Amino acid sequence: MPILPAEFIHLLEPFAPLFHPRTWPKAQLLLVGAILAPGKRTVTSALRVMGLSERGDFALYHQVLNRAAWSSLKLSQVLLYLMLRYLDDGDGPLVFGIDETLERRSGKRISARGIYRDSVRSSGSHFVKASGLRWISLMWLTPIPWAHRNWALPVLTVLAPSERYYQRLGRPHKKLADWARQMVIQLRRWLPHRYLVLVADNNYSVLSLLHFCQSMPQPVTFVTRLRMDSSLFEPAPPRLPHQNGRPRLVGRRLPKPAELLHDPQTQWSVAKLGWYDGGHRRVEIASDTAVWYSRGKPVVPIRWVMVRDLHGEFEPQALLCTDPDVAAIRIVEWFVMRWQMEVTFQELRSHLGVETQRQWSDLAIARTTPALFGLFSLITLAAHILGADRLKPVRGAAWYRKSLPTFSDAIASVRRSLWPASQTFCMSHRSSDTQKVPLPIFDRLIDTLCYAA
């Protein structure tokens, strides 16, 4: 086992009680190997980069994923508390995002595999289907001080099999909204006293889910898209004394968002907001409170927000918030933060080898991908603890000027702290010959290893 830096040992200490004493050293080795290894993130690639390719007991390391007793849920809880300890200022709401992504995998022995729309390769006019596993990830959307922008740090990731998978098991299908509801319950249990905001796309704009978040003993504010053809109403009028009949659920019907967009009486205001590219953008905003209702569904009081671009570069869109007291500008800013989740999904594929795993065991599959998602947050946290001075200057070139660090710089800084501490470059005691490597070549080799994807 390599000797780890003191900062890294301190970061990993809270996870040790969650593993058996004989499993924890192997889990640490796989963790360090997953950080240092380029390309595929398999158990064998982790062993190879750690210099253990000749070990005959390699099967013991596979058993960490497919047999050993440990809980991914408890690891997620510890990871969340660690991130809050180092990155949370303790003031204001905690904003989380929830979204799903597809891990392209094939193989008859992967039981939860399904056929889904590939959102990365599809467009508005081109539909692409792919075989794989669908994962729902809950991420903390928080500013990173040394990156000077918001990042999406995965906290909890679960596998959401297809409807066909549940049909084979003879069980009712569990929809995305059902998974999201369970994740909200778990998040509220972990953080019972904080003001929580959950941001999601239109796949989670479901009345039953919004009503659940709103009716919890400690509500969770939900921000998502609002369909342009949604039926909006005024609140139900107060019931008069001695009035007969069933109580009214809603009041007078209000114009739909699509109608409000072209209504000359809609009052628009210009606002300057932080935008997807990290800059600012001037947009027009219209907002009011209403009740969203559909027959047979629960009644949900909301604040709706219409956003349209002054230059017409993007289509107008409608948003909703289950807390009617939140300001419209704040709702838009929260929703814009959701885009960082797409960046995280791309970084996971580019730098942490998601979609390169080769396990077929159900337990190993259910553990490996969430572990790689959590590794993104752990590396970000390790880079933060190591200090921003190790991230500067960021890697650039004459043809690419880069002023702010990204995840590639974060993982490179962590790798730089791990390579010298490991036994990789130690000289053998059996040989007295020492071959000196020129320092520029040595630095170039280290730089290439640290930035290898």
Total domains present in the chain? 1
Distance in angstroms (rounded) separating the CA atoms of residues 26 and 22: 8
User: Taking residues 208-220, what's their average pLDDT?
Assistant: 96
pLDDT band at residue 367 using 50, 70 and 90 as cut-offs = very high
Residue 289 lies in a domain: yes
Residue-wise pLDDT tens digits, 148-185: 889 999 999 999 998 888 888 888 989 999 999 999 99
Residue 414 lies in a domain: no
Percent of the chain whose predicted confidence (pLDDT) is above 90: 57
Residue 317 lies in a domain: yes
Residue 54 lies in a domain: no
Residue-wise pLDDT tens digits, 19-66: 999 999 999 999 999 999 888 899 999 998 888 888 888 999 999 999
Residue 153 lies in a domain: no
Give the pLDDT score at 434: 60
Give the pLDDT score at 393: 61
Query: Is the model more confident about 275 or about 267?
Result: 267
CB proximity list for 334: less than 8 A, separation 6 or greater: 95, 197, 199, 223
Please answer whether residues 189 and 81 qualify as being in contact, where contact means their C-beta atoms are separated by less than 8 angstroms: no
Residue-wise pLDDT tens digits, 108-144: 888 888 888 887 777 777 788 888 999 999 999 999 9
Residue 156 lies in a domain: no
Using the structure block, give the residue that is written with the tokens 């969203």.
Answer: 292
pLDDT band at residue 427 using 50, 70 and 90 as cut-offs = very low
pTM of the model: 0.90
pLDDT at 428 over 60: no
Identity of the amino acid at 279? G
Residue-wise pLDDT tens digits, 227-273: 999 999 999 988 888 888 888 889 899 999 999 988 889 999 999 88
The 3-class SS string of the chain reads CCCCCHHHHHHHHHHHHHCCCCCHHHHHHHHHHHHHCCCCCCHHHHHHHCCCCCCCCCHHHHHHHHCCCCCHHHHHHHHHHHHHHHHCCCCCCEEEEEEEEEEECCCCCCCCCEEEECCCCCCCCCCCEEEEEEEEEEEEEEEECCCCEEEEEEEEEEECCCHHHHHHHCCCCCCHHHHHHHHHHHHHHHCCCCCEEEEECHHHCCHHHHHHHHHCCCCCEEEEECCCCCCEEEECCCCCCCCCCCCCCEEEEECCHHHHHHCCCCCCEEEEEECCCCCEEEEEEEEEEEEECCCCCCCEEEEEEEEEECCCCCCCEEEEECCCCCCHHHHHHHHHCCHHHHHHHHHHHHHCCCCCCCCCCHHHHHHHHHHHHHHHHHHHHHHHHHCHHHHCCCCCECCECCCCCCHHHHHHHHHHHHCCCCCCCCCCCCCCCCCCCCHHHHHHHHHHHHCCC
Domain ranges, residue 295: 223-236+250-328
Residue 353 lies in a domain: no
Give the pLDDT score at 3: 64
